[in-house]
Structure 1
Amino acid sequence: MQNHKDQNYCEGLVANDTAIVQAIYKQWAPSVIDFIKQQHGDVYDAQDIIQETIIVIYHYFRQHNVALPCAFGTYFLSLCQHRWGLELQRRDTNRRVDLNALAPSEATVEMWVSKTIAHENENRRFEAGFQQLSNACKDVLLTFEEDLSLLKNPSAKENNKTTCLAEWTTLVLQQSDASNHVKLNTEDFDRFQKYQAKTISSDVRLKFEAELNGDGYLKMAFQTYGSLQVYLEDGLKHEQEIGDFKANLDVISNQYFNALEAEALQSKPSKKSQTWTIAIVAVVFLIGAVLLFSIFANPSYEDYNDFKSISLMQRSPDDITTKLAEERFYTQDYAGALEAFNEILEADFANLEIQMYKSIALVETNQFKEANDLLLKIIEGSSAYRAKAKWILALSHLKQDNIAACIEVLKSIPQDANTYMKAQQLLKRLE
């Protein structure tokens, strides 16, 4: 199949091309916003739907080397339309989405939307099954960084992995076919392993293949067993890449919607604007006086750790753990916040935003080594969180009175970073 001229959008997402992501927002976000506003939602709902849809497309085209057969805009808008319809159903409302309001109905587009949704649902089943595994099984699977193909002479660790994969497969099958679930035994998974490892004779192999073709459930189990290995390997190999993409997308999304909000505020000037201007000038004057005084004092960590609160609820309004993390961070219960962050990361270990906030809590609780390791991991990536991670790392060194290391990190913060001016001010005070 010949690639559609819009294939560059899919390839750009997979490559984490900032210009492509920004182009998607510029060209199609206004239509999605208007659609959702007309279909019982608001601008915050639109932000969530757009970001979630981009992530779904990213995963689909990253894991499948396929050609886009239709216009990207129609495909993207159709997915947004579908997701918003599901969201309204989740909210248990009788309201329904007008399925012709955003994107036209085309057979090719509908087929690709269906394929993308099926892939997303499969990944959700995989993740849900994984979360039901014991912590021991999770550790075995996530720390196994070698080739996940089964070797001819598996070690004890690999045997443990095979056992955990078998348990994971069973959990996934129970989700997809609970009513007709047939209990698979150890021998079945042993045959899966030997077939993949090519340690059986040609006669046994042909017999096993014939059995797969004649037993639909056994074939589904075998395919699921193999798919889980690919899913796991992909996640382990590309953890940093996935995290960088989500971080970059998060920044672009916030920039776009913050600009919309600022534009809306400018179009509605307050009657008390003059009073506010005077107040702001006064505040700026006071801040300037405080900063001038602080120049002549030795800088300390407490002068700059103005992390205050965090906002994670925009895309997780119903998540209890996320809400708890926010509340504990706001009240400076950093030990409690760490517990919540760790729970979130168990389900989404590539979430760089949570990793960054976790690093702050670690610095606040003087767990410097773990904090620095986490920050260096973010800095070594290519996400939009790199500059913020450098600032936190510099403050970590400052809190430990490691001035030389602090200065070195401060000098590496780029000029386009939000923390650049603060970094330069601290640098002058230290040098």
Structure 2
Amino acid sequence: MAKNIHSDQRYIIGLVNNDAVIINEIYKRCAAKVKSWITFNNGSEDDAADIFQEALMDVYRQAKYKSLELTCPIEPYILLICKRKWLNEIKKKSILPVTNSEEDLLHIGEDTFANADELENQEAQSKLFFRAFEKLGDRCREIIEWSMKGEAQEKVAESLGVTYGYLRKKKSECMASLIKLVQSYKTEE
């Protein structure tokens, strides 16, 4: 089956040719999304800048030495690579086994393009989620943010100065409100 090369392939060509205008466009299209995702996931702006640079170097090497052909838009593709790199960074810091080594990132296949397409869909879902999330009250946002960090609920309750029972009940109510808002936005589209 022939691959449909995406029009964003021009960014890959520009990157390999060190075209400053194209590289600047890649930064404009992708850097803010990467920064936003990494800072939302316990990283700093410096971490985001480093990860973005590393991802561009990986894409460059893929294009130069492995004839990378882009079959999806560049943003989800680069964001996917950055997400993988950041998750690996977090795992390294917490002394957990790393899922993808540098070498694994050089063997990006069709599944990565499918993942990037899926990521684009997830991005649309994320926008709906954040739009709804912003409409919640301060307490609900605080509870959901704490819960998303993956800490034990007892610890979250203690940090928020509430009982474990109250936290569970309130979290359930907040999630129900969030889901309702997301669904109402979906029907608007």
Structure 1 length normalisation: TM-score? 0.22
Question: Who wins on radius of gyration, i.e. which is larger?
Answer: 1
